[in-house]
Chain A
Amino acid sequence: MMSKTRLDELNTNIYDFKNKDDYAYKIDKGLSKEIVEEISRQKNEPSWVLDIRLKALETYNKLNLPTWGPNLDELKMEEIATYVRPKADIKDKWEDVPTEIKDTFEKLGIPKAEREYLAGVGAQYDSEVVYHSIKDELLSQGVIYTDFDSAIREYPDLVKEYFSKCVPIFDHKFIALHYAVFSGGSFVYVPKGVKLEMPLQSYFRLNSPESGQFEHTLIIVDEGASLHFIEGCSAPKYNKVNLHAGCVELFVKENAYLRYSTIENWSKNMLNLNTKKAIVEQNGQVDWISGSFGSHISMLYPMSILKGDNSKTEYTGISFAGKNQNLDTGFKVVHVGKNTSSVVSSKSISKNGGIATYRSLVRILPNATNSKCSVTCDGLMLDDLSRSDTIPVNDVQNSDVEFSHEAKVGKISEKAIFYLMSRGLSEEDAKAMIVRGFANPVSKELPMEYAVEMNRLINLELEGAIG
């Protein structure tokens, strides 16, 4: 017989391995002008960046915590180190990355994925990017894929033109925090007409306890270009709170296409307060595929601004809230241009007292005539302890639109469980199969390897019930 603890270890250790908290530099805990200036000094960055940081800090101090959503009392900025530089410089060959850090990414399957089906990879460890690489043929086509610090140095004009123009520093308190202490992240520029066949992937690993990760991802897909970008995140579990407040800014130009896929799998002590937004020009399209796993609290609402006429967006998301988890996720869309269209499909699973909330905003502006928006959300509760809510805000400001919203929340069907069990499946297997089926519309949108990964995460979350 296996003991309970043994099973728990087995279930989590794929992501939950800790390396020693061994860093080259870790800033004092807390948040102050001195700390922000010190981060800037450590990063040796131009003064315009520091100016933004300081303005963001001021904004942060002025803004209040959100009055809605999960309770964030546990977040004490004075207990969080906002900058941790790993003992590694950025490299473009895995063999040059220090062994322990390289092993971390090996365990997460990143170099293997790069060899098999990615066009480029970025890997961040705590606050800095330790590996970044892109296939040569893409370089010769003018594709830029690099870490954010290098982008600031090497492409200052391009970065300045776009940085904080999609997600402004005053959007909300945690984005102000982000801009004050941001570090790492990826920068992507796909030139006009260039269509990438294989995806790029950036992976963010937070190893250091009582610290935060604040990576900034900025992607520009120029006219007629196309890109699939994959983002992955994880962290080992500690007893104290860790914080993730990343920012993703996406610019999708005329006739361009961007697919942004994420599987976030945070440890259960993480506060994940992440901001992602896309601005889509005429005939452009951005599709979001979002899997939110882990974290103690998540507040994550990717947003598409359909600025140009005929622009489109699709959002396919799933979240899994288990014991002691409050996942507040959803999608926001603003229809600005004419003939714009959005299709939103959101799913949540809650178990063992977990709370999964779908919170959304659909705003259709007066000029966005002949636009279409359809929203479906499904909540699946695996027991009576768990909760699943939908909180939609719909603001339709013109009458020439097709808008539909459908929400379904319910407990896993006892009849379906019985049906599957009558075919020889155990109760656990039956439930797992139903949950995987429920998640299938999302996994179908992911590349095969990531779909497998997501199914594995779902199984891990379900097996947690044994302990």
Chain B
Amino acid sequence: MTDRGKWHERLKVTLWTLIVPPILWAGHFLFSYLWAAISCAKAGAFMTFPIVFVAGTLLALALIGLSGWIAWRQGGTPGSSAPHEDGTDIDRLRFIAKSTLLLAGLSFVGVLFTVLPVIFLRDCM
């Protein structure tokens, strides 16, 4: 690796990367609705083998996991102990990284909860 460090260390958590996990969750939510509506309209029933849905879900989970992991690595910068509440760059970074990590966890669970009905209800009603 170059002296500029690994690629995920060159990325910097910002307010913009903070909203990535919830946006992925929202996107997956919309995708699920569209997928169910289109399957029901075109095929009259859920696909028996929902490859598109499984792929979309795995992609969303992977990206959320990735953003959480990056945030975790960045928040783990060594330094003074908690609480990190000063108006310094490093404390700001830690705060945003921690928030991103928490949002990633929430979004991960949110995506899983969106998926469960599809597994149990294979019916267009």
Q: Report whether chain A binds chain B.
A: no
